[in-house]
Structure 1
Amino acid sequence: MFLYNIITFLLFILFLTRPCLASPCPGEPISEDSISPWNIDISRNGPLPQGNGTPLIGKNIYLEKCAACHGASGDGFMDIYPALRGGIGSLATKTPLRTVGSFWPSPESVLDYVRRAMPLNAPQSLNADDLYSVVSYLLYINNIIPQDFPLNEKTISSVKMPNRNGFIDTGEENGKITFPYKEVQDRLGNCFRKK
């Protein structure tokens, strides 16, 4: 029995270390080529993917890839998949509806989320033109942009989201995050104290 336990232990160790033999282990340097597939974040400060889309094109892509979960009109599905439109002005009420139009602070944050996580059954499968098209359609059904608005890396910064002032800026654009104590105290009153 002792020999059996030793062999099992050695096989277990071999099994655990095998992934390290094929790829870098924790603490070992990793190449830029290994990082680049994961480094796809999008922010207001760039970099933005190069592409172009309009709500008219985005509607067709949305109906093909998104409507099964979020509904043909973006109203959600049976409280399982969230609504993507409506709710503007509802966040401070007893029945807030968090949608693309009511909650998200910037169009870049919507672009980032859709790029990373949608469609649910095939995340990161949208090319840049499809990505801009779907996001432009979401902005259109929330009455944020007109139907003929060309959304791309140059025009996206001109889009003003309804909840753009609903978030506190942490100063990430400088590469370091600083907590905005003064702004939080102004919003919350004296109940917030810096420690």
Structure 2
Amino acid sequence: MRWREICGAGFAIVLCALASGARAQNPYGIGHPATAAEIAGWNIDIGRDGSNLPKGSGSVGHGRDVYAQQCASCHGDKGEGGLGDRLAGGQGTIGTPKPIRTVGSYWPYAPTLFDYIRRAMPQNAPQSLSDEDVYAVSAYILNLNGLVGADATLDAKSLAAIKMPNRDRFVGDARPDVGK
């Protein structure tokens, strides 16, 4: 039996035990089953194709202002890096001995930028930016990388339509027992 099948069988046994009432007994007297509202609050993932992007929009100009207030202290005034990662530049370096991995040189899908900013930034207050602010900061960072114009306004449709420079350079894992 392969390791994946063994793990799958073990997982199924654990699920059956939980379903049979072991969880319902709650021997420690803490916690509660998650409500639909609690689950919805965490179910904010964005697909690489832009699926699940929220309504709203944001401009490069508004993004410049939000970035200056919320992002520049870590990522530098123009995305050059500092305490936080470098966000701009590096195009053409991925295949070199010293690649510079930035949003514009490395990331394969633009919607993942929105997803990451909304989930994790700013680091001291994740999930504190409005969807409009996240669209705007995404637009500004993409503008710093030369991927949208200074007058761009992004929404779900336009963000999903951006083809990132490194999109076609990622390859799948060819090993037969991985990723299936």
Q: Post-superposition shift, 1:47? A: 1.2
Residue 39 of structure 1, aligned match among 38, 43, 56: 43
CA distance in 1, matches of 2:74, 2:30: 36
- Opposite residue 194 of structure 1, the aligned amino acid is P
Residues 61 and 45 (structure 1), Cα distance of their counterparts in 2 relative to 1, 3 Å cut: closer
Counting only pairs closer than 5 Å after superposition, residues 67-106 of structure 1 correspond to structure 2 as 67-77=72-82, 80-106=83-109
Bigger radius of gyration among the two:
1
Q: Say whether residues 1:194 and 2:176 are aligned partners.
A: yes
Q: Which moved more, 1:132-141 or 1:48-57?
A: 48-57
Residue 143 of structure 1, aligned match among 143, 146, 163: 146
Q: Post-superposition shift, 1:76? A: 0.4
Residue 157 of structure 1, aligned match among 160, 163, 168: 160
TM-score between both structures, scaled by the size of structure 2? 0.78
CA distance in 2, matches of 1:41, 1:158: 18
Residues 3-39 of structure 1 show CA distances to partners (whole Å, capped at 9, x for unaligned) of: xxxxxxxxxxxxx92423xx23xxxxx4322211110
Q: Say whether residues 1:114 and 2:125 are aligned partners.
A: no
Q: Post-superposition shift, 1:150? A: 1.3
Q: Post-superposition shift, 1:167? A: 2.2
- Identical-residue share of aligned pairs (%): 41
TM-score between both structures, scaled by the size of structure 1? 0.72
CA distance in 1, matches of 2:160, 2:58: 15
Q: What are the ranges of 5 or more consecutive residues in structure 1 without an aligned counterpart?
A: 1-15, 25-29, 169-179, 185-192
Alignment match, 1:50: 55
CA distance in 1, matches of 2:84, 2:65: 19
Aligned CA RMSD, in angstroms, stands at 1.7
Q: What are the ranges of 5 or more consecutive residues in structure 2 without an aligned counterpart?
A: 1-26
Alignment match, 2:28: 17
Q: Post-superposition shift, 1:54? A: 1.1
Q: Give the total of aligned pairs.
A: 150
Greater RCO structure (CA 8 Å; 6+ sep):
2
CA distance in 1, matches of 2:148, 2:70: 21
Residues 107-134 of structure 1 show CA distances to partners (whole Å, capped at 9, x for unaligned) of: 1011111111001011011111100000
